[in-house]
């Protein structure tokens, strides 16, 4: 897979002079803020989506998006990729197999990328694809407080962008013992998850062999992505929506939310 020189990633943070107001005092200091850029995903020369994202791990992001959105059924259908840094943002050019491209043209949509975008630009309700196929059972026989506590304890050391800016979601792959293997960060929770999905595909990770942990709420699109990728066990720090719970139930997934060091809720 060819990558242009633009695969060298742009800075993902910026330092600014700020006034920090606290307890009636004003302190002038430097602060680190997260970068946010439009990333256009172009398939066989046709722009499909523009997402606001953190400009790092873009190869994994593009692959994960293509897989989790059902544009390609497997990563082997992505034949080539080129990342171009432009004045107004980033353009990721993907060349996909002709059958995949024909399927995409049949249900083409344009996403006006906002940080929390889930269905922006979908042309009709019938295109939402809310009914997943069943996923196979996961390797974790039980998810208990000890395992969740182990994950939560290890996550911060894998989240440098969050530590620096307070402005990033994390998506983590954890093995059956609760060890955090890999974490991807992004200003968008679904972007972070797509980056993780892309990495998992590249590494041939068995999605049923561990647990995905997201530092966000469990919205419908995250659970739908997980079901599409055959991920049977998903945990999130914040609350799920009712639709997310219904999708997880239909797919036969285990969904754990409100994950804290002292417990969680299983749906």
**CATH number of the domain that residue 96 is part of:** 3.10.20.10
Residue 168 lies in a domain: yes
Give the CA radius of gyration of the chain: 19
- CATH number, domain containing residue 178: 3.40.140.10
Domain count within the chain? 2
Q: At which residue do the structure tokens 């995409």 appear?
A: 104
pLDDT band at 128 (very low <50, low <70, confident <90, very high): low
- Given this model, what pLDDT does residue 114 score? 45
Question: Residues 236, 219: contact at Cβ < 8 Å?
Answer: no
Higher pLDDT, 179 or 130: 179
Phi, psi values for residue 56, rounded to 5°: -145, 155
Question: Catalytic residue numbers?
Answer: 117
Q: What is the pLDDT of residues 180-218, one digit of tens each?
A: 999 999 999 999 999 999 999 999 999 999 999 999 999
Position 124 pLDDT exceeds 60: no
Same domain, 156 and 259: yes
Residue 27 lies in a domain: no
pLDDT band at 11 (very low <50, low <70, confident <90, very high): confident
| Exposed / middle / buried, residue 12 (Cβ in 10 Å: 0-12, 13-18, 19+) | buried
Predicted TM-score (pTM) of this structure: 0.89
Question: Residues 193, 170: contact at Cβ < 8 Å?
Answer: no
Q: What whole-number percentage of the chain has pLDDT above 70?
A: 88
Q: Which domain holds residue 248?
A: 145-266
- Given this model, what pLDDT does residue 141 score? 72
Residue 138 lies in a domain: no
Higher pLDDT, 217 or 109: 217
């Amino acid at each position: 897979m060819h990558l242009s020189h633009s695969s060298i990633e742009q800075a993902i943070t910026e330092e600014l002079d700020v006034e920090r107001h606290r307890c009636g005092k004003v302190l002038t200091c430097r602060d680190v803020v997260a970068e946010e850029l439009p990333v256009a995903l172009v398939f066989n020369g046709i722009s499909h989506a523009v997402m606001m994202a953190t400009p790092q791990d873009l190869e994994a992001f593009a692959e994960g998006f293509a897989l989790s959105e059902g544009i390609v059924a497997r990563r082997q259908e992505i034949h080539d990729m080129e990342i171009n840094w432009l004045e107004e943002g980033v353009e990721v050019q993907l060349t996909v197999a002709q059958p995949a491209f024909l399927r995409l043209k049949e249900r083409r949509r344009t996403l006006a990328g906002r940080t929390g975008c889930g269905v922006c630009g979908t042309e009709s309700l019938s295109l939402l694809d809310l009914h997943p196929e069943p996923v196979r059972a996961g390797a974790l026989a039980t998810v208990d407080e000890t395992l969740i506590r182990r994950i939560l304890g290890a996550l911060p050391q894998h989240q440098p962008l969050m530590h620096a800016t307070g402005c990033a979601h994390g998506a983590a792959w954890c093995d059956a013992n609760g060890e955090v293997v890999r974490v991807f960060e992004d200003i968008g929770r679904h972007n972070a998850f797509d980056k993780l999905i892309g990495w998992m595909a590249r590494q041939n990770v068995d999605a049923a062999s561990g647990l995905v942990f997201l530092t966000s709420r469990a919205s419908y699109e995250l659970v739908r992505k997980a079901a599409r990728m055959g991920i049977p066990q998903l945990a999130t720090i914040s609350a799920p929506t009712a639709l997310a719970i219904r999708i997880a139930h239909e797919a036969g997934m285990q969904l754990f939310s409100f994950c804290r060091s002292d417990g969680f809720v299983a749906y």
